[in-house]
Amino acid sequence: MMWLLILLLSAIHQSRSCGFDNAHHDYTAPDLDVVLSHNLALRDQNNKRPSTWNKVAITNVGVFDGWTMRPAQTVVIENGRIGDDLTGAIQIDGSGHTFMPGLIDSHSHPSNITHLQSPTEFGATTAMVMSCPEPLICDSLRNHKGLTDVLLGSTPAAAARSIHGRLLGLNSSTTMANASQSPSWVDDQIENGADFIKMIAETPDLSQDIYQLLRPPPMQKARLSSAMRPTTAVSSRPSSPTPLDETSTRQFLQKRIISTPTLIMMLKTTQATPKLNYTASRLSTSRLYHAEVEVLVGTDANDQVGAPAKPKFGISIHDEMELLVEAGLPPVEVLRGATARPADIWGLHDRGVVEFGRRADLVLVKGNPIHNISATRNIRKVWVSGEDLDDARREWMA
């Protein structure tokens, strides 16, 4: 498999949304041993419960398949996958509803089971965890039956003495001074369970040098568990005091950089700090879209010490989609950016589309989100790998 690399572009004058500066916030950090014990206990309890893999057929339902809206049809869920045989299925009339893939949050920071339960309830069935400072905590979030599936990022790779390195509190053992440190650093991240490598570079420099710093040899590539388009980078956000200009947007396109604007984080940060300018983030996102840069949906949801804002897990993915529409993206493009497109970019080829044989990460909503993106909030049913959320929720409350 290929290695997965993320290039985070940020102008920190605008926001420190991923560079948490503890000096300006008065929060008490959770006891990590308590969090770990709780996560593991709930995983053990949850995974022992019987499967809720009932064979279900949703009839007369409109289907957004991850790319386009299809006419009313029948979709079958069987043994955790999307099937096509109605025999013996429990039938649910989907008239007036839309069936769609489970949403993928391409930028999130969960640390406990609540941070998985809430996204599941709001239809976000996959989350990309954008850094893993405590590997045991992150690993305890894996493999929870019926809950949001997580893929884990490495400790952010930042250059020694960089602004982000200082903001993130990275020391000499976690930053790099030169390319010779790359192999051992990547080895350490793989050993700690990273599914992909997260890199940080500061704008305006979009040179390839930062790629070369961490380009692992073939043996390391094979050990990373996710695949991504070759040479593709993902920008965390177009945050800046001023909107991106034509030169910058052209660089995004030429270098095949994909944008995850996290507008909900930008909005909440600027609300907390009025001197910052949310309009610039919105306009940058609009310009990137109109320049044909691919845009993904990500929330930066977190409950971390020193964060300038804390988008809520779950509901914030719907906030983000609405903000992207306000920034000028058509609803269908926003939905693609939360389903099929990130599945393709992140190499998650078992999900992201409604197609026979794919993993049954699915959401049933009332209305048509192609006409009104807010319809994604009208959730009637959620399945995670075929597990019915309604049945799982009853287990949580038992």
Nearest to 134 by CA among 111, 158, 164, 103: 111
Listing DSSP states for 261-309 in one string gives --HHHHHHHHHHSTTS-HHHHHHHHHHHHHTT--B-----EE--TT-S-
Beta carbons of 58 and 74 less than 8 angstroms apart: yes
1-60 tens-digit pLDDT: 334 444 444 433 333 344 433 334 444 556 888 989 989 998 998 888 887 788 999 999
Residue 294: is its pLDDT beyond 60? yes
| pTM of the entire predicted model | 0.86
| Helix/strand/coil for 144 | coil
Torsion of CA 28, 32, 38, 42, to 10 degrees: 110
pLDDT above 90: percentage of residues in the chain? 51
70-74, 110-114, 220-224: which has the minimum mean pLDDT? 220-224
Please confirm whether the linkage preceding 204 is cis (ω < 30° from 0): yes
366-388 tens-digit pLDDT: 999 999 999 999 999 999 999 99
Q: Give me the residue spans of the domains in the chain.
A: 5-19+32-50+96-397
Residues 332, 333, 338, 341, CA torsion sign: positive
Nearest to 141 by CA among 339, 132, 5, 392: 132
pLDDT at 362: 98
Residue 217: is its pLDDT beyond 60? no
β-pairing verdict for 257-259 and 149-152: unpaired
Please tell me the distance from the alpha carbon of residue 171 to that of residue 133, in angstroms, as a whole number: 12
Beta carbons of 81 and 48 less than 8 angstroms apart: no
Q: The domain 5-19+32-50+96-397 belongs to what CATH superfamily?
A: Metal-dependent hydrolases (3.20.20.140)
CB count within 10 Å of CB 52 equals 18
Q: What is the mean pLDDT of residues 120-134?
A: 91
Instruction: Tally helices (H) and strands (E) across the chain.
Output: 14, 16
